[in-house]
Chain A
Amino acid sequence: GQNIDQPTEMTATEGAIVQINCTYQTSGFNGLFWYQQHAGEAPTFLSYNVLDGLEEKGRFSSFLSRSKGYSYLLLKELQMKDSASYLCAVRTRGGLTGGGNKLTFGTGTQLKVEL
């Protein structure tokens, strides 16, 4: 099976930088996604990594090291609206009947941005 670990909660200050870590143990790794989810709402896609390295998208960046089973999401210039849960999800090859890729989610990291 898959095992995905991320911190339960984090607190940061508006305007600062925060790094949310995700470690995973899986077979058939085929990519890692980060989603943002505000309370009571649907997750929205933030980033995707399948190769090692850093992917940058505006204030958000995501890093992947496949050999270490490790990813992080970096949020810069934090804003109050960034207060949300951040979900790490690992895709595994052939994890579904019919050969499809399966997405397994971590429990999420609740980020609180304070003034």
Chain B
Amino acid sequence: DGGITQSPKYLFRKEGQNVTLSCEQNLNHDAMYWYRQDPGQGLRLIYYSQIVNDFQKGDIAEGYSVSREKKESFPLTVTSAQKNPTAFYLCASSLLLAGGNEQFFGPGTRLTVL
């Protein structure tokens, strides 16, 4: 079955540690996105990528980093510079960044920093 996978579903880390969230898709989508969701707030765009080896900052990129070495994979690293990292992180993909296609979401990773 085609889809987007994120792992792990729940992640706990100590303050000051970097952590990497995995996102893999087998939909052959060009564009991939990372969003953060906090209670009472809409999804906010962290980073996005429309092609391998290229990615751009979204609205709240500070304290995060990404890579896009393969079309299928778009891992997100939450660094110690992120002031409030506890949140629900959602990865998404779509056929074309500039196209009329919907974004498909992964199941999400809930990160808790202790």
Q: B-contacting residues of A (Cβ < 8 Å)?
A: 4, 8, 31, 33, 40-45, 48, 50, 87, 89, 96-108
* A-B contacts, CB under 8 A, total: 56
CA–CA, A99 and B46, complex, Å: 17
Closest chain-A Cβ to B13's Cβ sits at a distance in Å of 19
A101–B98 contact, CB under 8 A? yes
Knowing A31-B100, A45-B102, A87-B43, the reply to whether A100 touches B90 (Cβ < 8 A) is no
- Minimal beta-carbon separation of B39 from chain A (angstroms): 10
- In the bound complex, do residue B45 and residue A102 qualify as a contact, i.e. CB atoms below 8 Å apart? yes
- Contact between B50 and A103, CB atoms less than 8 A apart: no
**Across the interface, do B108 and A105 meet the contact criterion of CB distance under 8 Å?**
no
* Chain B contact patch, size range: 20 to 34
A30–B31 alpha-carbon span in the complex (Å): 18
A83 to chain B, nearest CB (A): 17
Contact B41 A107 (CB under 8 A): yes
Contact A41 B108 (CB under 8 A): yes
* Interface contact A96-B56, CB-CB below 8 Å: yes
User: Lowest 6 A-B CB distances belong to which pairs?
Assistant: A100-B97, A105-B42, A42-B105, A105-B43, A97-B56, A100-B98
Could you jot down 13 A-B contacts, CB within 8 Å? A33-B102, A42-B105, A42-B108, A50-B100, A96-B48, A98-B97, A98-B98, A100-B97, A100-B98, A105-B43, A105-B44, A107-B41, A107-B42
- In the complex the two chains form, what is the Cα distance from A104 to B33 in whole Å? 12
Residues of B within 8 A of A44 (CB): 105
Most B-side CB within 10 Å, residue of A31, A43, A45, A104: A43
Chain B window 71-114, contacts with chain A (Cβ cutoff 8 Å), 1 for yes, 0 for no = 00000000000000000101000000111101111111010000
